[in-house]
Amino acid sequence: MSRTVLVARPDSAGDVLLAGPAVRAVSAHADRVVFLAGPRGRAAAELLPGVDRVIEWQAPWIDADPPPVTGEHVARLMDALPDAGEAVILTSFHQSALPLALLLRLRGVGRITAISEDYPGSLLDVRVRIDETRHLPEAERMLAVAAAAGFEPADGGALAITPPPPSPVGPPGYVVVHPGTAAPARAWPPSRHREAVEALADEGFTVVVTGGPGERALTAQVAGGHAVDLGGLTSLPELAGVLRDACALVAGNTGPAHLAAAVGTPVVSLFAPVVPAGRWAPYGVPYVLLGDQEGPCKDTRAQTCPIDGHPCLTGVTAEQVVKAVRELIR
């Protein structure tokens, strides 16, 4: 009988990319892996080696702008779910696996593994406990869940994606600057990004600025006349191709930083301490962390900076970015 395993991480693109090592561990022991993703993570899930099918469903307990909990919405998930004998639910430290575990039980999934600090009763077969004070890197935290379910890692555990298309920018060796973030609290100011682009260009680097369709005004402002502006022009696989041929990425704590790690590109990480860098810094590649990691917003998980002037990141200078890029390419 075919062994189909459901792996769930209905979160953003970066979270899904960090789940890649756990997915490959499951895939090495299963006949088929179905990945349950949210709308922000579907494109990333489709890039993960070992995934045979992706289901998209917006979990009302995950997204910052959640849909209402209705019978119709839940029925869409139930109709889409495969006949899986088991499931591995992957969550962040501030999320609960139990709402999804309940729905999977109702769908007839037989064996469910997840982290749960709360008493899960019969919702989980394998309850994983993690010492959250250790700030285990997110990729390793999810690997531990897969291992607890019996899916031991089959490789070194690095991030990986399927090979991306060729980069439209050439030759390789340019610096990518990605100014956008999902949360304002994690963003370096656009004016500082532009200063960094100009400083990098003055140092002789070719600079490429990237961003999503809704960030075209931002990327145009940051690129000015000193960089190639790809704002809104790349899909996620195409962005991966651009990042693969870069010598470094300059970005905040956002999905493209993890995409860069998945293609082996070093990262200058403009990291606001609203979440721990130990969990969310670029994984498995060289990186330089810039930003005051002991700032007053530390561990607040704030979406908008609670401190006037956003001091944890505004104190970072363009000169520090150039220095960090040079350190990484050495």
At 306 the pLDDT is: 85
Specify if 164 maps to a domain. no
Percent of the chain with pLDDT over 70: 99
Residues 219 and 295 occupy one common structural domain:
yes
Whether residue 175 has pLDDT greater than 60:
yes
Q: pLDDT band at residue 305, thresholds of 50, 70 and 90?
A: confident
* Residues 6+ away with beta carbon under 8 Å from 28: 50, 151, 154
Q: Looking at the 3D structure of the chain, how many domains does it have?
A: 2
The CA radius of gyration of the chain, in Å to the nearest whole number, is 20
* Cα 176 versus chain centre, distance: 18
pLDDT of 1 higher than 60: no
- 189 pLDDT band, cuts 50/70/90, is very high
Last residue of a domain, one of 83, 113, 148: 148
What does the mean pLDDT of the chain come to?
A: 95
**Euclidean distance between CA atoms 210 and 252, whole angstroms:** 13
Confidence of residue 308 (pLDDT cuts 50, 70, 90): confident
Residue 121 and residue 198 in one domain:
no
| Rounded-to-integer distance, Cα 93 and Cα 96, Å | 8
pLDDT at 164 over 80: yes
Q: Is residue 154 part of a domain?
A: no
Overall average pLDDT of the 277-297 stretch: 95
What do you get for the CA distance between the two ends of the chain, in Å?
Answer: 52
- Is pLDDT above 90 for 27? yes
Average pLDDT for residues 168-180, to the nearest whole number?
96
Residue 170 has a pLDDT of 85
Tens-place pLDDT, residues 202-245:
999 999 999 999 999 999 999 999 999 999 999 999 999 999 99
Whether residue 132 is predicted with pLDDT greater than 90 in this model: the reply is: no
Report if residue 289 sits inside a domain: yes
Tell me whether residue 299 is in a domain: yes
pLDDT interval class at 58 (50, 70, 90): very high
Which pTM does this prediction carry?
A: 0.96
Whole-number Å distance between alpha carbons of 188 and 186: 7
Instruction: Kindly state whether residue 277 falls inside one of the protein's structural domains.
Output: yes
What's the pLDDT band for 171 if we cut at 50, 70, 90?
Answer: very high
Task: Give the CATH number, domain containing residue 283.
Answer: 3.40.50.2000
Mean pLDDT of 60-78: 94
User: Which helix or strand (DSSP H or E) is residue 126 part of?
Assistant: strand 126-128
Model confidence at 119: pLDDT above 80: yes
pLDDT at 294 over 70: yes
What pLDDT is attached to residue 113? 98
Nearest alpha carbon to residue 53 among 90, 11, 14, 8:
8
101 plus 206 within the same structural domain: no
Same domain, 77 and 206: no
Residues 6+ apart with CB under 8 A from 103: 74, 77, 78
| pLDDT at residue 133 in the model | 86
Q: Do 183 and 140 fall within a single domain? A: no
Q: Which residue has the higher pLDDT, 182 or 106?
A: 106
The residue segments making up the domain with residue 298 are 174-329
> When comparing pLDDT for 321 and 306, which is higher?
321
